[in-house]
Chains A and B, each alone.
Chain A
Amino acid sequence: MNDAVNNPAAAAPGPKGTGRVVLGVSCTFHEAVALRAHLLEQAELPGPYVIEGGAVEQIDTAGVQLLLAFALDCLERNIHYTWQSRSAALDDAIRILGVGALLESPGGMA
């Protein structure tokens, strides 16, 4: 289960309506429904958003696809997001799946 879903405090909005996406240890097909719900919950906040991906140990295409959809929504809504941290496993998946350019917000890394 996604940590953010288990720990509402971790997913609490930041100051001034800033969304805070906290990725759990596992972001795979099995956690996809919960991860999507968490992303949608954060997306309801006006933004900008901060994504914490430092804890990710397992991620697959389903997880990356959800992050991509979130990032594309941000792009379309012209809302910035920043990566506060990205684990090696997350970086590796992003690189191999060729989504690096799409997951780089104009805000870049915090």
Chain B
Amino acid sequence: MTLDLAQFHDTFFAESNEALDSMESALLKLSAGEVDSELINTIFRVAHSIKGGSATFGFTEVAAFTHKLETLLDELRAGKRRVDPALVDTLLRSCDLMRSMLAATQAKQSLDAAGTAALSAEIELILESPAEAPTMRVPALPASVPAASDPATSSGPPGWRIHFAPGPKLLRNGSDPLRILRELARLGAVESRVDAKWVPPLAELDPEECRLAWSIELTGDIKEAAIRAVFEWVEADCVKLEPFGSAATAIDATVMMPAPKFLEPVRPEPEPAPEPKPAPETAIASPVSASPAATMLMPALSAPAAAAAAPSATAPMAQGDHGSIRVSTEKIDELMNSVGELVITQSVLNQLAAPLEGREAHELRSALGQLERHMRELQESVMRVRMLPISSVFNRFPRLIRDLGQRLGKKLELRISGEHTELDKTVLEKIGDPLVHLIRNSIDHGIETPEVRLAGGKSAHGVIQLHAYHKGGSVVVEVGDDGGGLNRERILAKARERGLVAPEEELSDERVNNLIFQPGFSTAEVVSDVSGRGVGMDVVKRNINELGGYVQIYSTPGKGSMVRIRLPLTLAILDGQLARVGTEVYVVPIVSIVETIQVRAEQVSTIANRAQVIRLRDDYLPIVRLHELFDIEPEHTDLLDGLLMIVEADGTRVGLFLDELMSQQQVVIKSLETNFRPITGFAGATMLGDGRVALILDVPGVISRFRSHETRHDPAREAA
């Protein structure tokens, strides 16, 4: 029987790309002067694994290139070659090339032969050049030492390195690592080192779960079977054995340790990390590190295909981590859709049960209440499956910052926090580009040159801050910088020049700041390929609005700027308030609603015989008559007879005039764009419990539609 290797391709590509992300992170740390064996080994391991996988699957060009790269990395690993910025640059470009080669191979497109040949030649040139004096010593990586499988043939006292990362249920199953280690000590001399970074704070620790992992060195002429027998009651994939022959090799837990079956490490390394040396040009203080996953590359090669692949230290681990499986997003989307349909069916049942009376009806409603709770749990569970940490987006920025800093001659430091904040995969996929725009803008326009910064009493290094956190039912992402801040006068002058602001009109700081989101708006004197054409900030705002999110900008002259983006957790289901206008029912996202009030006559003022505003506390808010905006027949036209719902988007508040407020409910969002066409003011549609279709309001879109509606119906313009 022949094995169809093609079935492993997608997994190989996905995992190779993840591995390349780890490689890039490690290279960026090298570039920041953080040279250590773990980083070099991580980089080497990625190249080694991709080479092995590519050769197995017959991707010869990828295998050939990574082989050359691996040779260079091997010299680094052996301490034969010095790590310098030029070499790091070559390695980063190699990383880019491998990524594009894999993408082209996956898409069955032709590879960039010229680019590959040029970089291969560059690597060969480096290899031919005399190696400089070694500057570091890197312990041998197990991935490259398959020959050491027989301890008897190695020099020095024989022994075993044992990597023991038990699952959390180990203690409950009656196994005790202390007993296991004691038994190992009967076989030979044991030196163990614990890895406690998965131990949560005491208040969160389940005392019956094991959150520890160990790196053990067992010295002695010991048969593998004897060691396996000690771990007889432990799951096989929690234990990894490696023979060694040299007593001089020290335990390096961070290099060898496979990640246990927990989630992310919850504690920083207990030992204080050495201060990173200041970078000569661009410092990147990112928490991004070689992920634990980097030690478990290519589980796809655990399939029979792995047998044909190059020997790899990951192979023993690759017998399958039964704690997780890789599922296509299509399958998860199908599941989400089914949950959505269930939510609709549930609201149909609620509607049907509402008019019923009697004991049975009461019991039915009670059961429906229970169903609703279970539905919410189910929906949350499915949503959690779709949730990914925002680090997958943040991880691309250290490279961006480094490259832009070099190009613009600016010294930059990237600070990331809240990178474990999770949000829906679809939102994540769409948030990357807007963030890139914002960061480029901050670097190009916000952060000053080192000379200007020093003259202004600031540090030469400009800081770009990325921060993510959950707030209410939303995720907030902030992009800040400590640059010069927005230039109010220049923005205002430009806006007046373009006719966006009347010459005598006075604007609040907030409105001036928001001008930069106008299409084509740029105050940059020089248009560069980084930014300055005025395309960017309006695209950022539009993209965020399309995601159901809002953007706000804050700036302090001389101190810096901060853009705050508020995003929904998911695009599939939202908590909505049903509101009636005439016979139409609309869904207003609850996250946009500030309050709903009954209007008193003395609160309302009319401007220019037409536009109405309501005085609410110390603010005047425009009144949006939805029936006029959507051209429908209302029940009430007098403001005193209906309700005013105050909604907010992008820092702007307006009052929506409605006939009636109905129930609140979760609604499943059906895309108008996919099923019909996009319409300004509507985020989508949904099916109500009674089978009617209701349109979901997109509050920023409603405000924008209202503004253009007002402009069209301006009496002054109509008279002219």
Chain A residues within 8 Å of B, Cβ to Cβ: 29, 32-33, 35-36, 39-40, 43, 59-62, 64-66, 68-70, 72-73, 75-76, 93, 96-99, 102
Question: Is B199 on the interface with A (CB-CB < 8 A)?
Answer: yes
Q: Mark B192-231, 1 if CB is under 8 A from A, else 0.
A: 1110100111110101101110101000000000000000
Partner of B207, one of A35, A73, A98, A99: A35
Q: Determine if B200 and A60 form an interchain contact, defined as CB atoms under 8 angstroms apart.
A: no
Q: Determine if A62 and B207 form an interchain contact, defined as CB atoms under 8 angstroms apart.
A: yes
Question: Is B182 on the interface with A (CB-CB < 8 A)?
Answer: yes
Q: Determine if A36 and B182 form an interchain contact, defined as CB atoms under 8 angstroms apart.
A: no
Chain B residue with minimal CB distance to A29? B171
Question: Which segment of B28-36, B173-181, B331-339 sits at the interface?
Answer: B173-181
Question: Is B190 on the interface with A (CB-CB < 8 A)?
Answer: yes
Question: Is B270 on the interface with A (CB-CB < 8 A)?
Answer: yes
10 nearest A-B pairs in the assembled complex, by CB-CB distance:
A32-B207, A98-B192, A69-B202, A36-B207, A98-B194, A61-B177, A98-B193, A61-B178, A60-B176, A96-B181
Q: Determine if B190 and A72 form an interchain contact, defined as CB atoms under 8 angstroms apart.
A: no
Q: Determine if B270 and A93 form an interchain contact, defined as CB atoms under 8 angstroms apart.
A: no
Given contacts A29-B171, A40-B202, A69-B200, contact A96 B190 (CB under 8 A): yes
CB-CB contacts below 8 Å: B228-244 with A: none
Number of A-B contacts (CB under 8 A): 85
Q: Determine if B203 and A97 form an interchain contact, defined as CB atoms under 8 angstroms apart.
A: no
Instruction: Please report the C-alpha to C-alpha distance between residue A102 and residue B271 in the assembled complex, in whole angstroms.
Output: 9
Q: Which residues of chain A come closer than 8 Å to B202, judged between CB atoms?
A: 36, 39-40, 43, 66, 69-70, 73
Given contacts A72-B270, A96-B190, contact A61 B207 (CB under 8 A): no
Instruction: Please report the C-alpha to C-alpha distance between residue A60 and residue B177 in the assembled complex, in whole angstroms.
Output: 8
Q: Determine if B176 and A93 form an interchain contact, defined as CB atoms under 8 angstroms apart.
A: no
Instruction: Please report the C-alpha to C-alpha distance between residue A69 and residue B203 in the assembled complex, in whole angstroms.
Output: 9
Q: Which residues of chain B come closer than 8 Å to A36, judged between CB atoms?
A: 202, 205, 207
Interface residues on B, range: 20 to 34
Question: 12 additional contacts, CB 8 Å, given A65-B199, A69-B201?
Answer: A36-B207, A60-B176, A60-B179, A61-B171, A61-B210, A62-B171, A62-B176, A68-B196, A72-B196, A97-B192, A102-B196, A102-B270
Chain B residue with minimal CB distance to A36? B207
Instruction: Please report the C-alpha to C-alpha distance between residue A98 and residue B325 in the assembled complex, in whole angstroms.
Output: 32
Q: Which residues of chain B come closer than 8 Å to A93, judged between CB atoms?
A: 178
Question: Is B267 on the interface with A (CB-CB < 8 A)?
Answer: yes
Partner of A69, one of B171, B199, B214: B199
Partner of A96, one of B185, B211, B212: B185
Chain A residue with minimal CB distance to B195? A98
Instruction: Please report the C-alpha to C-alpha distance between residue A75 and residue B269 in the assembled complex, in whole angstroms.
Output: 11
B188 to chain A, nearest CB (A): 14
Q: Which residues of chain B come closer than 8 Å to A68, judged between CB atoms?
A: 194, 196, 199, 212
Q: Determine if A99 and B176 form an interchain contact, defined as CB atoms under 8 angstroms apart.
A: no
Q: Which residues of chain A come closer than 8 Å to B270, judged between CB atoms?
A: 72, 75, 102
Q: Tell me what chain A mostly uses at the interface: helix, strand, loop, or mixed.
A: helix
A107 to chain B, nearest CB (A): 15
B190, B208, B211, B214: which has the most chain A beta carbons within 10 Å? Answer: B208
Q: Which residues of chain A come closer than 8 Å to B205, judged between CB atoms?
A: 36, 65-66, 69
Q: Determine if B178 and A64 form an interchain contact, defined as CB atoms under 8 angstroms apart.
A: yes
Chain B residue with minimal CB distance to A64? B178
Q: Which residues of chain B come closer than 8 Å to A76, judged between CB atoms?
A: 201, 267
Q: Which residues of chain A come closer than 8 Å to B214, judged between CB atoms?
A: 97-98
Q: Which residues of chain B come closer than 8 Å to A102, judged between CB atoms?
A: 194, 196, 270
Q: Which residues of chain A come closer than 8 Å to B171, judged between CB atoms?
A: 29, 61-62
Instruction: Please report the C-alpha to C-alpha distance between residue A72 and residue B216 in the assembled complex, in whole angstroms.
Output: 22
Partner of A61, one of B176, B190, B196, B203: B176
Query: Can you show 5 pairs from A to B with CB atoms below 8 A apart?
Result: A36-B207, A62-B210, A70-B202, A76-B267, A93-B178
Chain A residue with minimal CB distance to B211? A65
Given contacts A60-B176, A72-B267, A102-B270, contact A97 B194 (CB under 8 A): yes
Q: Which residues of chain A come closer than 8 Å to B176, judged between CB atoms?
A: 29, 60-62
Partner of A72, one of B177, B185, B199: B199
Instruction: Please report the C-alpha to C-alpha distance between residue A98 and residue B257 in the assembled complex, in whole angstroms.
Output: 15
Q: Determine if A29 and B194 form an interchain contact, defined as CB atoms under 8 angstroms apart.
A: no
A55 to chain B, nearest CB (A): 18
Q: Determine if A32 and B192 form an interchain contact, defined as CB atoms under 8 angstroms apart.
A: no
A110 to chain B, nearest CB (A): 22
Q: Which residues of chain B come closer than 8 Å to A97, judged between CB atoms?
A: 177-178, 181, 192, 194, 212, 214
Chain A residue with minimal CB distance to B268? A76
Instruction: Please report the C-alpha to C-alpha distance between residue A59 and residue B178 in the assembled complex, in whole angstroms.
Output: 9
A33, A35, A75, A97: which has the most chain B beta carbons within 10 Å? Answer: A97
Given contacts A72-B270, A93-B178, contact A32 B208 (CB under 8 A): yes
Q: Determine if A29 and B208 form an interchain contact, defined as CB atoms under 8 angstroms apart.
A: yes
Q: Which residues of chain A come closer than 8 Å to B177, judged between CB atoms?
A: 61, 97
Instruction: Please report the C-alpha to C-alpha distance between residue A72 and residue B210 in the assembled complex, in whole angstroms.
Output: 16
A53 to chain B, nearest CB (A): 15
Chain A residue with minimal CB distance to B216? A98
Q: Which residues of chain B come closer than 8 Å to A62, judged between CB atoms?
A: 171, 176, 207-208, 210
B107 to chain A, nearest CB (A): 47
A90 to chain B, nearest CB (A): 11
Q: Determine if A96 and B182 form an interchain contact, defined as CB atoms under 8 angstroms apart.
A: yes
B267 to chain A, nearest CB (A): 6
Chain B residue with minimal CB distance to A31? B207
Instruction: Please report the C-alpha to C-alpha distance between residue A40 and residue B205 in the assembled complex, in whole angstroms.
Output: 11
Partner of B192, one of A39, A59, A69, A96: A96
Instruction: Please report the C-alpha to C-alpha distance between residue A64 and residue B185 in the assembled complex, in whole angstroms.
Output: 19
Chain A residue with minimal CB distance to B193? A98
Instruction: Please report the C-alpha to C-alpha distance between residue A40 and residue B204 in the assembled complex, in whole angstroms.
Output: 10
Q: Which residues of chain A come closer than 8 Å to B185, judged between CB atoms?
A: 96
Q: Which residues of chain B come closer than 8 Å to A61, judged between CB atoms?
A: 171, 176-178, 210, 212
Instruction: Please report the C-alpha to C-alpha distance between residue A73 and residue B208 in the assembled complex, in whole angstroms.
Output: 18
Instruction: Please report the C-alpha to C-alpha distance between residue A11 and residue B201 in the assembled complex, in whole angstroms.
Output: 21
A81 to chain B, nearest CB (A): 13
B89 to chain A, nearest CB (A): 38
Chain A residue with minimal CB distance to B200? A69
